[in-house]
Chain A
Amino acid sequence: MEFLLYFGDVFTPFNFMLLLIGTIGGLILGATPGLSPTMAVALLIPFTFKLEPAQGLILLGAAYTSTVAGGAVSAILLKIPGAPANIATTLDGHTMAQKGEGARALQLSFLASAVGGVFGVLLLIFLTPVLAQWALAFGPSHLFWLAILGVTVIGSLDGSSVVKGLLSGCIGLWLATIGFDDIMGAQRFIFHPSVSGGINVIPALIGLFAIPQVITMFAKGRARLDAEVLSVERHPISKAFGEVFSRTRALSIGTITGSVIGLIPGVGGQIAGLVAYDQSKKMSPERAKFGTGHPEGVIAAESANNAMVGPSLVPLLTLSIPGSPTAAVLLGGLLIHGIFPGSDLFDNHPQVAWTFINSMLVGQILMCIFGLYVAGLAARVAQVPNAVMAAVVLSLAVFGSYSVQNSMGDVYIMAALGTGMYFLERFGFSAAPLVLGLILGPIAEANFIQGSMIANATSSVGQYFFTGLLNLTLIAIVVASIVYSVWMELRHRRYVTKEDAVAKEEALS
Chain B
Amino acid sequence: MTDLPRSQHIIASGLVAVVGVWVAYVSYTQEPAAAFLFPRIISTVFVVLALWTFGKALMGKSKVGAGLSRGAMINILPGLVVALIYIFWAAKALGFYTATTATFFILLSLYDPAPHSEMRSWIKRALITAGFLAVMYGLFAQLLNVFTPREIFF
Interface residues of A (CB under 8 A from B): 32, 35, 43, 160-161, 163-164, 166-167, 170-171, 173-174, 177, 181, 184, 186, 188-189, 214-215, 217-225, 385-388, 390-392, 394-396, 398-399, 402-403, 406, 408, 411-412, 415, 419, 423-429, 441, 444-445, 448-449, 498, 501-502, 505-506, 509
B87 CB within 8 Å of chain A: yes
- How many residue pairs link A and B with beta carbons under 8 A? The number is 188
- Indicate if the CB atoms of A403 and B144 lie closer than 8 Å: yes
CB distance from B10 to the nearest CB of A (A): 10
Q: Do A406 and B146 have beta carbons less than 8 Å apart?
A: yes
Given the interface contacts A163-B52, A386-B111, A506-B66, does A398 sit within 8 Å of B38 by beta carbon?
no
Bound form: Cα–Cα A16–B11 in Å: 59
Main SS at interface, chain B: helix
Chain A residues with CB under 8 A of B96:
398-399, 402
Alpha-carbon separation in the docked complex, A171 to B24 (Å): 12
Q: Number of contact residues on B: which range applies?
A: 35 or more
Q: Which of A32, A215, A403, A424 meets B79, CB within 8 Å? A: A215
Query: How many Å lie between the Cα of A223 and that of B71 in the bound state?
Result: 12
How far, in angstroms, from A449 to B67 measured CA to CA in the complex?
Answer: 41
Report whether B35 and A391 are in contact in the complex, using a CB–CB cutoff of 8 Å: no
Known contacts A225-B113, A394-B107, A506-B66; is A427 also within 8 Å of B8 by CB?
A: yes
A residues near B19, Cβ cutoff 8 Å: 171
Quick check: A427 and B111 within 8 Å, CB to CB?
no
Asked if B128 is at the interface of the complex by the 8 Å CB criterion, the answer is yes
| A445→B36 CA distance, assembly (Å) | 11
Interchain CA distance A219-B72 in the complex, whole Å: 5
Task: Give the residues from 37 to 56 in chain B that come closer than 8 angstroms, CB to CB, to chain A.
Answer: 37-39, 42-43, 45-46, 49-50, 52-53, 56
Contact of B132 among A163, A395, A429 (CB under 8 A): A395
With A166-B49, A387-B112, A399-B96: A427-B62 Cβ-Cβ less than 8 Å: yes
Q: Known contacts A399-B148, A402-B96, A403-B146; is A177 also within 8 Å of B38 by CB? A: yes
Task: Enumerate 23 A-B pairs (CB-CB under 8 Å) in ascending A order.
Answer: A161-B64, A163-B52, A163-B56, A170-B42, A170-B46, A173-B42, A188-B30, A189-B23, A218-B76, A218-B78, A391-B132, A398-B86, A398-B91, A398-B100, A399-B96, A408-B92, A415-B83, A415-B88, A423-B12, A423-B68, A427-B8, A427-B13, A427-B62
